[in-house]
Amino acid sequence: MNYELKSLLSRLSGFLLVWAVILFALAAAVYGTAGDGDLLAREMRRHAPPETTGLPETEYTGVGRMTAGYLTGREETFQYVFSDAEGRRFVCFQPHEAAHMADCRGLIGLAGRLRWIIGTAALLLTAAGIFLRRRGPFAGGMLAGLCGAAAVFTGITVWALADFDGLFVTFHRLAFTNDGWLLDPRTDLLIRLMPVNFFITLGTRILGWVLITGPVLLGTAKLFQNGKAERQRNA
């Protein structure tokens, strides 16, 4: 394999490694957030208190854990039933709400599977960069990938700050093949429990985990650059 081809493959490996790590962090953060029932319950209670939802405060933990369990495959049915002090039985969610959560479960399950696929790809790309022994091009590819990622996430952040509702609607139209996500807060508990601010908080949390990869990847690129410089000095 000639020098030019090795350099090209090394640069490409570095570029793809950055995106693999970012997507791994995104998938892992989405899956981990969706599977944290106590977190979901806490944010529901914070952004959708009992006086706006009609759900007793004592039932939030149960709903949050049921939701997390369903989204990550630990629960088979999306439904929560409770009884009040007088023994009256309440069924929380209607069939169309459960149908929408089935769509959400598919997306969360996809994120869970992608963690392992993309994580494996990241390891293979790292191994390829080491095997090709072209540290400079590999580091250059990583830096190019980081610049591209910074541009993409900056654009999304600006969009979210300028028009979060527009971003929210666009995401749902891309992610779902039906209009099941268009719920009515007057009749549907699900949308009352999960208002826009609920998703803003969880989205910010997920974004924070993704942004942590930036300094890590930058540090890795610098290590490869320094390794190349050290080899040149010792040559």
Phi (first) and psi of residue 223, to 5 degrees: -60, -45
The predicted structure's pLDDT at residue 85: 84
pLDDT at 234: 42
> Per the structure, how many domains does the chain have?
1
pLDDT of residue 108: 97
Contact 153, 18 (CB under 8 A): no
Does 142 map to a domain? yes
Q: Is residue 26 part of a domain?
A: yes
pLDDT of residue 67: 98
Structural domain span for residue 210: 3-225
Residue 230 lies in a domain: no
Average pLDDT for runs of 10 along the chain of length 235: 79 94 96 97 97 96 98 96 91 96 96 95 89 82 94 92 89 87 94 94 93 90 66 46
Write down the pTM of the prediction: 0.88
Cβ contact 108:202 at 8 Å: no
Does residue 231 lie within any of the structural domains?
no
Domain membership of residue 117 (yes or no) is yes
The pLDDT value given to residue 227: 53
Q: State the pLDDT at residue 4.
A: 80
Residue 233 lies in a domain: no
Please report the pLDDT score of residue 133 as a whole number: 72
Q: How many CA atoms lie within 13 A of 140 on its CB side?
A: 11
Domain membership of residue 234 (yes or no) is no
**Contacts by residues 42-48 (CB-CB < 8 Å, ≥ 24 positions apart):** 43/198, 43/201, 43/202, 44/193, 44/194, 44/198, 46/201, 47/195, 47/197, 47/198, 47/201, 48/192, 48/193, 48/194, 48/195, 48/198
Cα end-to-end span (Å), the chain: 22
